[in-house]
Amino acid sequence: MDFKRLEKWKGDLNICIRCGYCYEQCHLYKVTNWETDTPRSKLILLYGLLQDEIESSEYIINKIFECFYCKRCDNNCSAKVPITEIFTDARTDFIDAGFDVDGTASKTNDELCCRCQICVSICKYEARSYDKENKKIVIDKVKCRSCGCCVAACPTGAALSKEGFDLTQKELRKQVTNFFREGAI
């Protein structure tokens, strides 16, 4: 696989000292407790891909696409490696290579979507656009930061966040209900 954009980060991937400060504030890691969900692990995977030590797979690429771009890893990195910029370039290379994984990117339920395009106008990352020919909302998985603004703004509930990361309305409602049931007021 050709890593046109990722190749420029080879030096930064060597600078990473694998200290683990990047995952101390990582939401994904706190939810799953899996090393493969940490920014450190993702950088190691990308380094392995660049060195031809491992082969691209849907699993590995999906891991790279699982990031909320909160940039806490960037802020905590003692070596000042621009982690989220590296992820963005890697994502772009993977999309260019024809991989189509979801990661944490938002989705649209076309059956519920009324094509009002509120989600398009509210997306500050310009990750959503309207395909006039196919009459549907298109999500740019490289640009999507999974911030949830489109989900909150959608009047029909057609914009969705991926479940499993404790951030969807259903998951948050369950956490609040459990909190009050436990009497932890």
Confidence of residue 176 (pLDDT cuts 50, 70, 90): confident
At 68-109, the pLDDT tens digits run 999 999 999 999 999 999 999 999 999 999 999 989 999 999
In three-state secondary structure terms, 160 is strand
Query: What are the structural domains of the chain?
Result: 6-96 (no CATH), 107-181 (3.30.70.20)
Tokens of 22: 């990047």
Where does the chain have alpha helices with state H?
Answer: 10-15, 27-32, 39-50, 58-65, 72-76, 83-96, 118-122, 149-153, 169-181
At 31-41, the pLDDT tens digits run 889 999 999 99
pTM of the model: 0.85
Helix axes 39-50, 58-65, angle to 10 degrees: 130
Q: What is the pLDDT of residue 158?
A: 96
Residue 142 above 60 pLDDT? yes
CA 110: distance to chain centroid?
A: 21
